[in-house]
A = this chain, B = another copy of it.
Amino acid sequence: MNPAEGRQTADRPLRVIDENAHTWSPEDARARLRKGLTGATAGAAAGHTQANLISVPADWAYDTLLFCQRNPKPCPVLDVTDAGSFTTVLADGADLRTDLPRYRVWQDGELVDEPTDVLRYWRDDLVSFLIGCSFTFEWALIEAGVPMRHIEQGRNVPMYVTGRQCRPAGRLHGPMVVSMRPVPERHLAAAIRESGLLPAVHGGPVHCGDPSALGIEDLGRPDFGDAVDAEPDDIPVFWACGVTPQAAVTASRPPFAITHAPGQMFITDARDEQYRVA
């Protein structure tokens, strides 16, 4: 792999795709991403639901769907395609092979490429899973007055592989991945309440406070995304994360898989409100 513009490395934070991306329509955002624009999609196409992607051979589709069903906090399924199809009911005219900023291609559990489209990797037996993303509830939190440190700091959200194992399903197993947002103590209740009303996009947090309870050693060294600076009164709040299927790919080594690159999501036409419970 050659490092490319927009590709994240340990010492280079991933920039957001565009500072005005929140004003774009989902269709406009996908058209720009299709042409090769890359970067973090946090805040893009405000009010529209973003999704994690994992595509697996049909032979692995049942295990994947069952893994999601058994682990609904990290893997809330928003749509599943028919084998070979690269369209989704969640986004009119979208092409799942080209419309994400950056993909990851996996062979036998190893990351082999991070291209900006997967046209040359596509197979007619691939079943694609679109999984809810916590970017969806960030708007609800911001509206409730909760500051979003990573957006303020122009960075990708930090994500960590935890010591908590998911419930296995067939050949798929692996640890839960979480995203972390530092939340001022006085905003904790609002953050928990507002995200809890959106169970289809991970719902309420899985943990607040001491990272070691999740087996996380150093908040300054996330496994994916960027470290963020916390304020003195902030408490780290951890939400189950849709990168969890990628940790399952690493642990379970299916022969082939395509995923999004962490933080570089699929932007759907769905409205965040439609996943709100009350």
Contact = CB atoms under 8 A, between A and B. Distances in A.
Interface in A153-210: 193, 196-197, 199, 203
Contacts of A277: 196-197, 199, 203, 277-278
A66 to B, nearest CB: 6
A141 interface: no
- How many chain A residues sit at the interface, stated as a range, is 10 to 19
**How many copies make up the complex?**
2
Interface of A: 61-62, 65-66, 69-70, 77, 80, 193, 196-197, 199, 203, 277-278
Most-contacted residue by chain B among A62, A77, A197 (CB, 10 A): A62
A189 B226 CA distance: 44
A65 B66 CA distance: 8
A140 to B, nearest CB: 13
A136 to B, nearest CB: 15
Contacts of A278: 193, 196-197, 277-278
Given A197-B277, A278-B193, A278-B277, A69 B77 contact: yes
